[in-house]
Amino acid sequence: MTVRIELRGLRKEFKDGTHVGPIDLTIEKGELVTLLGPSGSGKTTTLRMVAGFIQPQSGSLTFNGRDMTNVAPRERGIGMVFQSIALFPNMNVFQNISFGLDMEHWDRTQVTERVEELSRMLGIHGLLYRPISEVSGGEAQRVALARALARKPQVLLLDEPLSSLDPQLRDRLQMEIRKVQRSLGITTLYVTHNQAEAFAVSDKVAVMNDGVIIQTGTPEELYENPNSEFVARFVGSGNVFSGVVEEVRSDSILVRTDSYIFKVSGHRLAGSQVFFTVRPEDVRIELAESGMGAAATVQSVTPQVGSSRVVLDFDGNQVVSVVTDATMTSQLRKNGTSRVWFRFEPELAVLIG
């Protein structure tokens, strides 16, 4: 049986006055939803309200329509992986995984079967009898996941499960988590501050800032249509421009920034303050002035797979561009911090909000 989770106006105020919420979020059956936001934005608090470790002051939390407010954490049918992993140091790997089963008084052969099954699924079969002090970071993460899944929970909660791992291991494990989650069809709430990680694992991402969800959507929706400057900066490339509408045309507007006037598709009232964003792959760099681009200086050129990431300084703001042309890349690298011009097609710029 899978669970549909609904958070409605969930709100927690701490003694010192800081508060998180109100949070509105729906996690459909079998879906993986990620809370993405900077440190201190309220992700853990939200997750812990779902787990039942924090009692919200107001709002409701339901699993398949059933109110969970007065249900103890251990009766919510939840598996959880903590940011600190929190394996039991006085037990070995097997005992950690089987802990939840022991609490339910499973019989010995069933326990062994279940632990074997999980450890094979997560590739930790070889270390079942190791003490916790002797497993590596990545292995510990798998053990924690196995332990959380042992009782066949209906809901899985993961709080920055990969934040302590190095990037390569993180990439591998996030794919594995995704695979396991899909194959079990378990409703999952995942917390991270890492945009790439969020996009890699999620069906849906809820971007949090200052205790509230700013925007919820699929990774594509967020990337292509951020609803605010914050989401654009946090989720997108960081190419966010702000300015004042100088002139309104039939299908586009002219936006004046400190040193340049950009043409952007869409409609806004003249004189209003607007934000727009352009994806790095849509920013074109030119080495000579053509009268069509804004002037900027090159800050850095970083090679990536099949392209280069070029960071420009435009009026003290960063503008990122992805350059696929190899001769252009080598030219930029050779010139060092030189003056260049950049532009984009008006229809590829996205007005925010």
Partner 1 sequence: MKSQNVLAHLILYSPVVLLACFLIYPVSAVIIRGIVSGLGTSITNVLSSPVTLNAVSFSAYQAAISTLAAVVLGLPGAYLLARLRFGGKSVVRAAMVIPFVLPPIVVVVGFLQMFGPYGFVDSFVMAITGSNTSVVNLASGITGIVLAHAFYNAPLVILMVSASLERLSPDIEESAEILGASSIQKLRRIILPHILPALLASAILTYLFCFTSFPIVLALGGGAYSTLEVRIWIAFRIFDYGAASSLALVQILITIALAFSYYRLGGSRNYTIAPTSRIKQVGIDEIGGRHALLAVLYVVLLLVLVAGPIVAIVRAAVYDPVTEVYTWAGFASLLSAGLGGGLIPLVNSVFYAGTSTVLAVVLGLPLAYLHRRPGFTSSTLSSLTAFLPLGVSAITLAYGLMLCVVVPLGLSVNPWPAIVLAQTMIGLPFSARSIEIALRNIDPALLDQADLLGASRLQKLFFVELPLLAPGILVGAVFAFAMAIGEMSATYFIALPQNFTLTVAIYQDLGVRKFVEAGAAALVLVAVCLIAFLVIDKVTGKQSGGVL
Read off the tokens for 240: 């966010």
Closest contact distance (angstroms) between CB of 159 and Mg ion is: 6
Judged by CB under 6 A, the chain residues 66 through 95 that form the site for ligand ADP are none
Question: Is residue 277 a contact residue for Mg ion (CB under 5 A)?
Answer: no
- Choices 41-49, 69-77, 135-143, 161-169 (CB under 5 A): range interacting with Mg ion: 41-49
- Measured from the CB of residue 180, what is the shortest distance to ligand ADP in angstroms? 23
Nearest-angstrom CA–CA distance, 82 and 35: 15
14 counts as binding ligand ADP under rule CB under 6 A: yes
Per CB under 5 A, the list member of 34, 41, 44, 154 interacting with Mg ion is: 44
Helix (H, G, I), strand (E, B) or coil at 30: coil
The amino acid at 329? T
**Coil, helix or strand for 250?**
coil
Partner from Mg ion, ligand ADP, partner 1, none contacting 86, C-beta within 5 to 8 A by type:
partner 1
Which residues within the stretch 269-298 sit at the binding site for ligand ADP (CB under 6 A)?
A: none
Examine residue 42 and tell whether it contacts ligand ADP (CB under 6 A). Answer: yes
Please check whether residue 185 is in contact with residue 214, taking contact to mean a CB–CB distance below 8 angstroms.
no
The CB-side HSE value for 203 (13 A sphere, CA atoms) comes to 16
Secondary-structure percent of the chain, ordered helix, strand, coil, rounded to 5:
30, 35, 35
Interacting partner of 161 out of partner 1, ligand ADP, Mg ion, none (Cβ under 5 to 8 A depending on kind): none
Smallest distance, partner 1 to C-beta of residue 100, A? 4
Q: Which is nearer to partner 1, 47 or 310 (CB)?
A: 47
Residue 90 CB, nearest distance to Mg ion (Å)? 26
- Of the candidates 11, 13, 29, 40, which one interacts with ligand ADP according to CB under 6 A? 40
- Report if residue 43 touches ligand ADP, rule: CB under 6 A: yes
Q: Which residues bind partner 1 (CB under 8 A)?
A: 51, 53, 73-74, 78-80, 82-90, 99-100, 103-104, 133, 147, 150-151
Residues 260 and 330 sit within 8 Å (Cβ to Cβ): no
> Cβ closer to ligand ADP: 211 or 243?
211
Tell me whether the omega of the peptide bond preceding residue 131 falls within 30 degrees of 0, making it cis: no
Alpha helices in 52-107 (DSSP H): 93-103
Q: Which residues of 133-166 are buried (b: 16+ CB within 10 A; e: fewer)?
A: eebeebbbbbbbbbbbbbbebbbbbbbbbbeebe
**Shortest reach from residue 17's CB to ligand ADP, in Å:** 9
What is the C-alpha separation between 280 and 312, in angstroms, rounded? 11
DSSP 321-338: EEE--HHHHHHHHHH-S-
Interacting partner of 100 out of ligand ADP, partner 1, Mg ion, none (Cβ under 5 to 8 A depending on kind): partner 1
Q: Is residue 20 within the footprint of ligand ADP (CB under 6 A)? A: yes
Q: Which residues contact 108 (CB under 8 A, 6 or more apart)?
A: none
**Residue tagged 């194959």 (tokens):** 183
The nearer residue to ligand ADP, 40 or 77, going by C-beta atoms, is: 40
7, 10, 31, 44: which one binds ligand ADP (CB under 6 A):
44
Interface residues with ligand ADP (CB under 6 A) are: 14, 16, 18, 20, 37, 39-45
Interface residues with Mg ion (CB under 5 A) are: 44
